[in-house]
Amino acid sequence: MVKQRRADDRPAVPIGLVGMLIQIDQHATGCHARELASHTGLDPSTVSRVVASLVSHGLVERRTDPADRRASWLAITPKGQSGLADAHGWYGELLDRALADWTPGEVAALCAALGRFTRDLDVALGTNDNLEDAR
């Protein structure tokens, strides 16, 4: 029997760190903090604080960049991968419960509207200069 989680049975990865952990995980070989700042549109000091928290939680590790020994590569740890999988499961279950009474058409309309919103937000933030290309 599958145990249904309660809403307060939150994943081990703090909610404020999930997004950055996803960004780091998408770089299979690791990435620099400056790349994260550029990709997310966040201030480098904000990225630095989030990365420090991820490192202190054991979710990310810093590795010396062989090309520039002054710089560090950031890589997700096995604990980070496990925590991210747990977070994905928790959020998936939460959305399943929230949308349980919605029709497939309502879910499709929500997905389409959210997709358009995120693309338009990317354009507004300057991460995609051409609205037509983003769609």
Full-model pTM: 0.74
Instruction: Compute the residue count for the chain.
Output: 135
Q: Which residue from 23, 30, 28 is spatially nearest to 72, judged by alpha carbons?
A: 30
Of residues 76 and 39, the one with the higher pLDDT is 76
Q: Which residue from 12, 23, 77 is spatially nearest to 46, judged by alpha carbons?
A: 23
Per-residue pLDDT of 66-117, as tens digits, reads 888 888 899 999 999 999 999 999 999 999 999 999 999 999 999 999 999 9
For the cut 70, the answer to whether the pLDDT of residue 1 exceeds it is no
Classify residue 27 by its DSSP letter. S
Mean pLDDT, range 36-50, rounded to an integer = 91
Domain residue ranges in the chain: 15-99, 102-135
Top-tier CATH class for 15-99: mainly alpha
Q: What is the pLDDT of residue 56?
A: 95
